[in-house]
Amino acid sequence: MQIVQEQICFGGRQIRYQHDSKVLNCSMQFSVFLPPQAKEGPVPALYWLSGLTCTDENFSSKAGAQRVAAELGLALIIPDTSPRGEGVADDEQGAYDLGLGAGFYVNATQAPWHQHYQMYDYVLHELPNLVEAQLPLTDKRAISGHSMGGHGALVLALRNPERFVSISAFAPISNPSDCPWGHKALGAYLGSDRQMWAHYDASLLLMSKGCSLPILVDQGAADNFLTEQLKPHALEQAAQQAQAQLTLRMQPGYDHSYYFIASFIEDHLRFHAAHLR
């Protein structure tokens, strides 16, 4: 882990790191906020997964999460959204919803994506092992994300509930097996077998596996992607069938932007802090 950039923020440290990822077979950057309490000893962490076209810097610079994280003593771990670098496959047409910036937090099985696009294993294992070995962090983790990242947060925690204490999401892609973004990405990364897609579909996972973890989802009612791409009510129906602890809040007038995230990030941080304690 090499420090690329560092600032003092609300008495804590906002740090951007670079490291060589064995899982992704490339160099990766990620951001960390360490609250002031980390000076005294290990603190729990919230992992944040960003959405399409984003890097680790979108959340760290736009969400305004550090003030509350500093108050609560929460570290923020913010990975990039895909592998990057020379030789990493990208969409030939330069599409925003496939390739660089659009890893969808899956382990790709199809060429040419499978050489680098193993974001599921990276977020689940390699990155936590790295930061928990080298930074003052406990092994208590929560996970959250936005849009594609909300999809990733839900899938990772639903499949691995022992790794996290709570889940939240902003405008997640809740049912990718049944939306254009999901058809395109899962078809490219995983192939045409829809049984493979089901391993990365939060609504299908929740219906089949249930979930013992508390889940908070905020969705803007004025989100342009709501009906065609996000489908939060599929997640709600799955939670009802599984008797899961899902709170879905439809927020009137809010869209898909970071203004929406900044408006409710404090609620999510306090939600996770209550369970991380």
Taking the C-alpha atoms of residue 118 and residue 239, their distance in angstroms, rounded to an integer, is 28
220, two tokens: 């803007």
Owner of token pair 């990718």: 176
CATH (domain of 262): 3.40.50.1820
Taking the C-alpha atoms of residue 93 and residue 27, their distance in angstroms, rounded to an integer, is 24
- Residue 112 pLDDT > 90, yes or no? yes
Q: What is the pLDDT of residues 79-99, one digit of tens each?
A: 999 999 989 999 999 999 999
184, two tokens: 């395109």
Neighbouring-strand partners of residue 14: 7, 33
Q: What percent of the chain has pLDDT over 90?
A: 98
In this structure, the number of other CB atoms found within 10 A of the CB of residue 129 comes to 10
The predicted pLDDT at position 237 comes to 97
Q: What is the mean pLDDT of residues 6-35?
A: 98
Q: What is the pLDDT of residues 210-234, one digit of tens each?
A: 999 999 999 999 999 999 999 999 9
The predicted pLDDT at position 277 comes to 86
Q: Determine which one of 80, 201, 218, 223 is catalytic.
A: 223
Q: What is the pLDDT of residues 168-205, one digit of tens each?
A: 999 999 999 999 999 999 999 999 999 999 999 999 99
The predicted pLDDT at position 91 comes to 95
Domain that holds residue 136: 2-276
As a residue count, the chain comes to 277
Q: What is the mean pLDDT of residues 69-74?
A: 98
- pLDDT band for 77, please (50, 70, 90 cuts): very high
Q: Where are the alpha helices (DSSP H) in 108-227?
A: 119-121, 127-134, 148-159, 180-190, 194-197, 202-209
Contact 197, 188 (CB under 8 A): no
Q: Determine which one of 116, 146, 151, 256 is catalytic.
A: 256
Q: Determine which one of 147, 166, 168, 174 is catalytic.
A: 147
Residue 256 known to be catalytic: yes
Buried b (16+ CB within 10 A) or exposed e, 103-125: bbbbbbeeeebeebbbbbbbbbe
Taking all residues of the chain, what is their mean pLDDT, rounded to a whole number?
97
The predicted pLDDT at position 62 comes to 97
Residue 147 known to be catalytic: yes
Residue 223 known to be catalytic: yes
The predicted pLDDT at position 172 comes to 98
Q: For the chain, what is the domain count?
A: 1
Q: What is the pLDDT of residues 236-268, one digit of tens each?
A: 999 999 999 999 999 999 999 999 999 999 999
What is the reported pTM? 0.97
